[in-house]
Structure 1
Amino acid sequence: MSQPAGPGPHFVPRKPINPRFEEDLAFRSVSGPDRYAGTTGLPVRYVAVADAKGTVTGYVWANDEDGAAGQIDRGDAGNQAVNLRPRLDDAKARGLAPVAALRELVAAAGPGRLVAGPLATAPHLRLLDDLADRPAPERRWSAARGALVGLALGDAMGRPLSTLPLDRITATYGTWSAMELPLYDGESVRVSDQTQLALAVAEGLAEVAVRAPLTEAEARHSLTTRGALPAPPWITPGAVAAALRTHLVRWLRAPDNDRSPGRTTVDACTALAGETPWQAASALTSKGCAGVVRAAVVGLAPYLSAEQRAGVAQLQSALTHGHPTSLAASDLAAHAVHLLAHGCPPADLLPRLRAHAAASRWTYRTDWLGDLAVRAGAASPAAFVAAGWDECLTALDTVATAVAAKDPDRDPGAAVGTAWTADEVLAAALYAFLITDARPRDTLRRAAHTSGASAATAALAGTFAGAHRGTANWPREWQGAVEYRERLEVLGTRWDFVTRD
């Protein structure tokens, strides 16, 4: 058929298509090596995989009950990942059980193979995804806003109770399950310095953790080698330390810094206002709870890699509280908030935190901490941090034992300890969150009604509850009454928005 002359589209007559091009060419595997099952819902034995330089590039795992074994590479390993899958296939062909095959790999470990040592156990494969820094599932909508508001609400509920013994709390406010948010002047509910300092850290971090545009080539390279966008190169220890230092000094000099803050924090921030290195300002023997509550907001910041999140959490604690237990507890608090915000079931939280602690036990983050361990007089940087992780691992075990008793009427202080230290406040907050089945309002009540540090415990527990459930379970009248509501909601809404971009 001829086409009309003149401007316009020119249609070319379609030629007949060879029938062979319309055949079903879908790939079907008809043969291949017999392999172990690639997944399991049961606990697994695992060991780290390292390259020739000793850098961990992933984990190889096995489970006999399901006949399963496999390898999980770190998200940033790229072409450096050591591939041990062919050796697993060979072991399967020789009839070895999965765990026996794993032990055989460990026995033959050498440079560029496995990290020698006993096999570790993980309750499920998701823990290895955490350790390997695989891309996390999409974050819950309103997780940041819910967590920040929850922190302030818990702080406000616990503030008037912090100096009271348990019998006075009960006599004045009733049982824990009947408590409501206390109103001070009928218009606003005042928080303590816990919320003020958490805002200082969050707003300082927000100045640094902003999204920088990537070129198409950079994004494509990262997606093909890592499976996700790269860790932001502009979030450096120097930039974060400078921003946090500025905001902590600004808090120190603010007219509303009238909530009787801890002497350790005040002295450290006073020193930060000078020219001294921040490591010299840190209270190296203090493991007070201020750092662990502030650290919770780090778990909400967008774009951080797992390494950056741990580094920032420890750094912000070390600026004031340099004891290794404070560093480890802060790292765990940020990790817990991150996990909950990305859909971690509460029942899985303690095992995943324990796996993170065990994997981090000998890791001293020199880039973020500098010569802190040397100033503390530690035998070695690794020994310095290990002491803190050991205390936190003990605290997590205490929480697990207390939660297993299933007695929500048991005071968090009686369950895990009443000290105002980072590890015990973290333990008390986790206990209150888990013993109430993660119901946000009950979590706040249970955390505040304690013989321990009421404000710090309830603030941290409120962050966990808000990260897990968002804002839906915070009563509107509570959200509208809390002090600093505008700053909390602006920051939280922005972080929620950019995370979903």
Structure 2
Amino acid sequence: MSDNDWNNERLDQDLQFTVVSSPLRYASETEHPVEYVAAVTPEGEITGYLWWSDVDGAAEFARRPAVDSWNAGSFWYGKLLEARASGLQPSVAVRRLLTEPGSATSGRLDPGSRAVTSLPALTELAAQGWQPPADRVKPPGWRPDPPLDPERSERAVAAGGWLYRTDPGYDPAGRVPPRAVAGAWEVSPGGRLLRFWHNPEYGTAPAPVAPAGEGVPVPPLRAGRRPAGRALLGWLADPLAPRFCRLAGSSGSGRTHLLSWLAAAAPPDNPRADRRVHAVLPAEGLTVRGATWLLAARLGLVARTPAELMAALQDGVPRTLVVTDLDRAGGELLPGAAERIAVDLLTPLLQVPWLRLLVECGSGTPAAAALDGAAPAGAVLDLDDPRWTDPDRFASWCAGLGGTPVAAGQVHPSPGLARLAARTPATVLDPAAPPADRASALAAAWWTALPEELRPAVRALAAGPVTAGLWAALPGAGGADAVRRAAELVPAPADGAAWRLQPDELAARVAAGSPAVGHAGLVRSIADGVPRLAGGRPDLAQAGPERLGTLLRHAVPAGIAGQLLADPEFLVHADPAAVTAAFEHAEAAGEPPGALAEAWELAGPACAAGTPAGRAAALHAWLAGRDEEAAARCAALSGQAWTARWSYRRANGQVRRTTLGHGRYAGRLAVAVNGILRHVDPVTGRDAEGTDPLRLPSVPSVAMLGGADGSYYLLRTDGVVTELPLHDSFGNSLSRALDWATRHFADGVTALATRGEQDELVAVGDGAGRLHCFPTDGGPVLSPDEPLHRGAVTAVGLALSPAGGLALSGGRDGRVWSWAHGSGRAPELVDERPCEVTAVAAAGTAGGLVTVAAWSDGLVRVRRPDAAGPALDLRLGGQARSVTVDRAGLVCLALPKGVVALDLD
């Protein structure tokens, strides 16, 4: 991601250098003998030696590195600075310091230990018992990023921005076990390396193969389609089969019905692991955005863009995805949507070695060309090929259709043609003709035989699929009786929901013999059928998403969609796919997006599969501070008790982390956007005045925390802590404690937290699922007896509760634990969900303790342990990468495209 938001007017000014003097200090070296006294803790441990020599005006504190009293040197160093600033001779300064009580960590100077020696000898004395610091411990499974050479970069660009690194002997385009895939390089369109995504399953032992078992019962497959069904089940079970299969066939060939059967025969929880479909994406009417949002939701993930979905799928988990009706993507509003979905969404997915894709897409289309080009070794199952339909069973099925007797040999192998033939007077078709030609001939005969009085009802279907109830309300349809009679002659919908003219040749024939669709008239008729409230206002909640979606689809070509898209209540209750397509149609037409359009895009993943109340809550969060009137309306529609105070985002910005500022940044919220650390006023949600942005190191991080003095610390993926020190800082206890932690926990450091305002305590999560708490003054490490998590800890938090100190931990196993570490009580399991925890936070507020946990599927759960009532669940359209709670109870969620601040009361 680019750092192009690094804008500071000071960078345009001429450089002006000013010599700044450092504080006065005593000399730190001498060749003359030195006097010294020991600093001793109340427990009798020597923390170091304070030495001086008036001959050279020298004085220094020699800390004993063998003692874990990190503050000792800082304390006496500061006292010597004060004495030098007062102009005291070293010996006079020491006499005064002998009366200094010191602290538990620095120790007190012992006059009885006074002695004389040389400085080298004293240095050797201080070093006794000291061992070189241990190497920093890498978390289990950590691996360095492999380099990307220009040739691989070009290949990654050609493959849609992703290139996988596999063990020798494997072809990334073929079937590769996840354990043999090291990971993937992600590159920009220009070939710049964005990140290497390590596969957590790389190098693991093969999972034991469980017995196949019975699995769920396979539902019957009629119309002679058992050969096709067996082929698809075989493709699922065959480890050597191509990872991509395109299901082709003419309109009416039964492609969607076959895939619906497959999904029922292979549910994601099927006891037979080789017979599972993990997600089905019905692409009809969808755009790239809508398809991405919905597919992620059906996989139990959250993603705004194809790149985010790809990132979420770099977990090494085998999945099988099915896409239906790709040819109908975008509808009439965005006819190029199918190709765009194929190129922008599905082509990158085809590169993932542990994914299998089965896509319904007719041959000879731009989308099919894109998919076949991206997976040249893929399979194609064309239902127009007679071998996939048993002729005898097909004939038996045709005989049971009723109506006009069907000559099965003339319509084989198309179920759609058979259904239409059963509703058409006897017509002779050429069995050798292509299915499309036979469909055109049959459609012409059907239309000719249709009673004149029923033609208006059928013409009403030419405008697009509608439900049975809405069909009768369309202008010119002739009313319920005409629709009922027409429905007996129109092939019934396979899904039992929306009526449409099928096959496509029938729709084309009806449209050719009908006047142009009057979209404005359709809008009025559909709107007239919307239920009304007592005051006469439309009752959009009762209208249903299908009716409102159809209304919007006709309002766009009628040029009157703007008023609908400007109504938050309409957006909340309408079909999300129709809303997304309408906004994208307006964007393609060059209309500048308003606040609602921007909020819809940001909240999209929560809107695609959420409830009306959930959509209203997500829109409210992103509208806060942008359009207060619309935000208030969405808040009322959501029914939530919380209120969004503001939302913060920057153009083209990707939010990485957030944490509360302290010290000189107290009262500010630190937000890492791209490669810049900014400070935000938590009251207004705007950039805080008087603070300059800070450049962040270009390393992937898993946590960010702030020290009491205003320093910031980043925990890297390799378990190393990188400090952003203050310019006048000479180290502090927190810095040393964090460095110590990275060297002394056997399973590395995977999560970090402090209480911020004070640097007295650190919480550490490690790669083995353990939680640790220890004071920064070198005190004992407290840990539960057993690991709390299966796998690495991914997030930790600290707070003060009425019962004392509280630590939270979240893990890769989806669990959240609470541990009152100061009370001696055992940890308590707070939550458990089937996806990774991405962030936790806790704080004592005026209203009591508040805890927050976030998971990788976008769910955020807020709890008040001291209050009655259920937890508050939020989905705002993205994965919360970090969470903060301040003492006032303001909850700030760092989502990929911005920060949202919530008031709970």
TM-score normalised by structure 2 residue count: 0.17
Q: Which has the higher helix share?
A: 1
TM-score normalised by structure 1 residue count: 0.27
Larger gyration radius, structure 1 or structure 2? 2
Larger relative contact order (Cα-Cα within 8 Å, sequence gap ≥ 6):
1
